[in-house]
Amino acid sequence: MSNSTIFVAYGDTPYEMTLKVLKKMQPFKNLDFNKFIGIKPNLVKAKTADSGATTSPEIVRAVIEHLRENDLHNIAIMEGCWIGTNMEKVFKASGYDDLARELNIPLINLQKDKARKIKSNKKIDLHICEHSLAVDYMVNIPVLKAHCQTKLTCALKNMKGCIPDNEKRRFHSLGLHEPIAHLNNILKNDLIIVDGIMGDLTHEEGGNPVEMGRIIAGYDPVMIDSYAARLIGYEVQDIPYIEMAADLGVGKLHKNNGVLEEIDPELKPALKIEASNKAAQLAQWVEDYHACSPCFGSTIHALQRLEDEGKLQKLNRKIHVGRGFQDTQKEALGIGLCTQGFSHYLPGCPPESRDIVQFLLEHVKGKQ
């Protein structure tokens, strides 16, 4: 079966849809039973899949059962969530503790994993978690979501959960797009199953779920992401890491005439899928200088809260976020530990959205 084929199953039953895709693709048919299978969902926050933030455990359940039907039993679920978030709490809240206990599958907390330095393409050194490097066959199961900094998070960006927290911070200093491409040049995706049942098309931490009613699967993360970008209304050029990964030989771009095999097309939702530009609008209030996603995302979420309460327009100054402000002292508003040299800053790495809301409320017009 060609690696250029993308499979799309429609409906609202993730377990059944995943099994249909797997039975059509037969990705594990000739895989050696000794291979170590890594399953990498997207568990960015302590939220359930219906929030639009995390991978449905029912998709992972279907993958594990299909692996076992093919006599593959050396399986582990692995993830490293957002900086400042406790992975054990995320596993529990998102339903993966229960799933792992029921199916007797190990959960590997990559936040606690050792890391090894690997060079990509003789150009860039990256620190990567050892368990993810030990995987023989990687099943990448991202959620189709918008992202407040990169516009899209899907297959390629989901692998960022396989690096330690310090490296996640450094990715932002390196411009985010280039290291994401190089990370995928080191960590190969053998199978991608995208949870497109419910995703947040405003930004990646959930809370603004959109019913998309589909699962997207394939073998090439570049092809999957270029298809997904157009699906939610972006051009590939809008998301630089996709073309960068293609240039590194990670995969090929999905062209308009790419092979698409649909399963249950009569269940395809009539609603057109489009990413919201709300995050971009709110980002106009933010001065971003190499901000990490958790800090930036929490700030966007807080600004959304202020707008909902009709108080955003009273904010009379920019908010500064990012590691680039670590050595800066100025009369300004700063969010996070990196802005501690500012006259007014909120500590935390990252601060909680509710604390950012309260901090900003103290600095709107008439409350200084």
| Co-location of 207 and 108 in the same domain | yes
pLDDT at 295: 83
Which two three-digit tokens encode residue 309?
């309460």
Which two three-digit tokens encode residue 160?
């960022």
**Contact (CB, 8 A) for 276 and 331:** no
Mark which of 238, 267, 296 sits at the end of a domain.
267
| Co-location of 64 and 121 in the same domain | yes
Strand ranges for 56-170 from DSSP E? 75-79, 107-109, 115-120, 124-129, 137-141, 145-147, 151-153
Mind listing the pLDDT tens digit for each residue in 124-162? Answer: 999 999 999 999 999 999 999 988 788 899 999 999 999
Q: Tell me the backbone φ, ψ of residue 253, rounded to 5 degrees.
A: -70, 145
pLDDT at 206: 66
Mind listing the pLDDT tens digit for each residue in 71-95? Answer: 999 999 999 998 888 999 999 999 9
Which two three-digit tokens encode residue 238?
């809008």
Residue 366 resides in a domain = no
Structural domains counted in the chain: 2
| Co-location of 163 and 302 in the same domain | no
| Co-location of 207 and 282 in the same domain | no
| Co-location of 61 and 115 in the same domain | yes
| Co-location of 213 and 352 in the same domain | no
Q: Which residues of the chain have pLDDT under 70?
A: 1-2, 203, 205-207, 256-258, 365-368
| Co-location of 120 and 201 in the same domain | yes
Judge residue 125's burial from the number of C-beta atoms within 10 Å of its C-beta, 0-12 exposed, 13-18 middle, 19 or more buried: exposed
Judge residue 81's burial from the number of C-beta atoms within 10 Å of its C-beta, 0-12 exposed, 13-18 middle, 19 or more buried: buried
Question: Please, what is the Cα angle at 151 between 217 and 255, to 5 degrees?
Answer: 45
pLDDT at 129: 98
Q: Among 230, 225, 216, 303, which Cα is nearest to 273's?
A: 230
| Co-location of 45 and 117 in the same domain | yes
Residue 273 resides in a domain = no
| Co-location of 66 and 179 in the same domain | yes
pLDDT at 284: 86
Q: Quote the CA–CA distance of 304 and 333 in Å, as a whole number.
A: 17
Would the pTM of this model clear 0.85, i.e. be above it?
yes
| Co-location of 164 and 84 in the same domain | yes
Residue 59 belongs to a domain with what CATH number? 3.40.50.11440
Beta strands across the sheet bearing 137-141: 107-109, 75-79, 37-41, 137-141, 191-200, 209-218, 5-10, 259-263
When the pLDDT of each residue in the chain is averaged and rounded to a whole number, the result is 90
| Co-location of 291 and 190 in the same domain | no
Containing domain of residue 123, as a range?
A: 5-267
